[in-house]
Structure 1
């Protein structure tokens, strides 16, 4: 990252004073972050405190007698974040050298104790694997979003068997984002078509639903669903995580509906009229002609909606869940981890950036694919 900043400064030294000034700010900023984290590593008496804090950030709190679940999930999460790095920076040999020094540094700090060094080596290896595959294997780059989704599903299967609900951190934030995005899209499409329906009753219901959801805050909807679900369906016994996902889906379906409706209105009416004159049913017109063109128009807003869901995940604290940001607050409030506000916040910032980069990369590839298929 430092080399990239220096190269940026050298290439923009003439004719672009703003870029020069910005790059001169980037270099000391990167050095400051690196030195602060290194100082944290070298001055902390117990390296396992750092490892434990990172584990809380990534996957939440978990019983010590099931540590294998935590480490397995951590490796999968590290590989997924490595894929995010590959979307931003191509893997180079000196990157591998720097990563390889991490277990050695831990071994030195721990005075020869190999346990934490081996654990760190496993995490580094998983991160490097995801980074290398995404950087150099074309099929891996294309399949990265699906692989990341599958990885998180595997993490859930490993971390949260029936009856275990203590996981959280980044895992909860990303899982909430994925589930909400997947479920809100078909519901939003149905609402968009319902709002344009010829049946007045259906149109009024969909319009009222969309307007109400867009007029109230998300935190109120999540809390309302959390209280209401045990009353309406007590036999289901839904966990807090499931109720939070339902609240997010109900809320964001209204926004997806408005995005899709704007795409539907962008489709030329002459196409639908020509299809009707050929005797094609209304369902086939909407499924084969209108909807594919509408989705191409609204790819960018839908991706922005996914990022908004991820950034809104901290609101689940209202129902007692521990998302990524809440896990960081727990670490900052716990004197066991020490006063390391800058390091924890820097880790939060970098991880949010990596996840956002993965989503943006997937959206860019989706836009390119849809543009190519439309030709």
Structure 2
């Protein structure tokens, strides 16, 4: 009886239909947010016009009218007349074609550039492996030690048939990766200890941690780099000299540690008091309670500000140029000092910006996935 309509005729089964395209999907979103009235529609159309015009101009400058290669004389002098003839009309990517090895590796011996190239790949591989949760075991620390030792052997040389290269010849992308990797790797555990110290019930430890954070945050990074490069050697005994790169690395670690400590402390304060009381009720010691219950939850809460700080300090490594360390940005600026390439800084800075963006965007996307995975049980 249920299959028969009124009057005894067979009922026609109803097929579910999708909502009209104007009610859901991109069309509905655009209609509600971009074209919901005449004023919004006018602004949207004006913005579309400007974006299209800028995009067409950039494509024309960067690709259609660009020059990628220029002739080079037997003496090694580039003929940039063709680039200067199209100034303002097309890009001269020939400066990247000719100077890319100098930009990436600085004054490292030209015939040995394969060594810093492998170092950059090792760093990237180390980041990728460390980002995979299935490798988060104690053996990962051994991998880090082995890879960093190999990186030191490749950069310095002097063994295994490799020619010795002093640190004064290092430069470019490897220096940026070294400063960022070692800086954040050592600053993060320091930040955790300082954050815990600021919440300690021991007055001496709490006062020292507060003094450290407030003192470091009260001065710019440039001043710490100057102190490490210029002032610190004056206090060393005669004949004792610490490498400039190591001094800059320590300054970056101390500076990053102070900022990261406040981020970690924010996560510790965000946990409800019940978590601490539950851990105490289980009879856990302070370090077991902190390592197994408190810190994992606190760090999950502050993943966005942590990664934001990581990204900021990755870019801040470029400040070492003021003390004469040849990082990626310094190498790019030096590449256009040559008279033949003066006036083509835009192309170089765009290339450097793309390199920085790739690393920073990778950190941002990874942190987004990590945050979503760790906070899947929370309702947002």
**Structure 2 length as normaliser, TM-score?**
0.69
Partner of 2:175 in structure 1?
A: 172
Pairs within 5 Å for 1:187-266: 187-231=190-234, 237-266=241-270
Uncovered stretches (5+) of structure 2, i.e. residues with no partner: 1-25, 35-43, 79-93, 158-163
Q: Which has the higher contact order (CA 8 A, sep 6+)?
A: 1
CA distance in 2, matches of 1:160, 1:59: 14
Within 5 Å, which residues of 2 pair with 1:115-154? 142=132
For residue 67 of structure 2, the aligned residue among 18, 35, 39 is 39
Deviates more, 1:308-317 or 1:201-210: 308-317
Give the C-alpha shift of residue 50 in structure 1: 4.7
Q: Shift of residue 307 of structure 1?
A: 1.1
Are the aligned partners of 1:70 and 1:159 in contact in 2 as well (CA < 8 Å)? no
* SS at structure 1 position matched to 2:375: helix
What is the rounded CA distance, in whole Å, between the counterparts of 1:300 and 1:240 in structure 2?
Answer: 33
Rate the CA distance shift 1:29–1:283 in 2: closer, same or farther, 3 A.
same
Give the distance between the partners of 1:227 and 1:30, measured in 2 at CA.
46
Aligned to 2:12: none
Judge conservation of contact 2:198–2:205 (CA < 8 Å) in 1. yes
Decide which structure has greater helix share.
1
Q: Secondary structure at the match of 2:256?
A: helix
2:286 is equivalent to residue 290 of structure 1: no
Shift of 1:371: 3.2
Aligned to 1:29: 58
Aligned residues: 307
Query: If the length of structure 1 is used for normalisation, what is the TM-score?
Result: 0.70
SS of corresponding position for 1:39: coil
User: 2: distance between equivalents of 1:167 and 1:314?
Assistant: 14
Inter-partner Cα distance in structure 2 for 1:323 and 1:374: 42
8 A contact 2:264–2:302 mirrored in 1: yes
Query: Matched residues in 2 for 1:149 and 1:29: separation?
Result: 45
| Alignment deviations for residues 197-226 of structure 1 (CA, whole Å, 9 cap, x no partner) | 101111111111101111111110111122
Paired residues of 2:176 and 2:327 also in contact (CA < 8 A): yes
Distance 1:272 1:141, change over 3 A: closer
Q: Work out the CA distance in 2 between the residues paired with 1:330 and 1:156.
A: 25
The structure having more radius of gyration, on CA atoms, is 2
Q: Give CA-to-partner distance per residue, 1:66-112, whole Å, 9 cap, x none.
A: x1x2034336647988x9xxxxxxxxxxxxxxxxxxxxxxxxxxxxx
1:314, 1:324 within 8 Å by CA — same for their partners in 2? yes
- What are the Cα deviations for residues 291-324 of structure 1, in whole angstroms up to 9, with x where unaligned? 1111101111111111111221121123210111
1:63 aligns with 2:109: yes
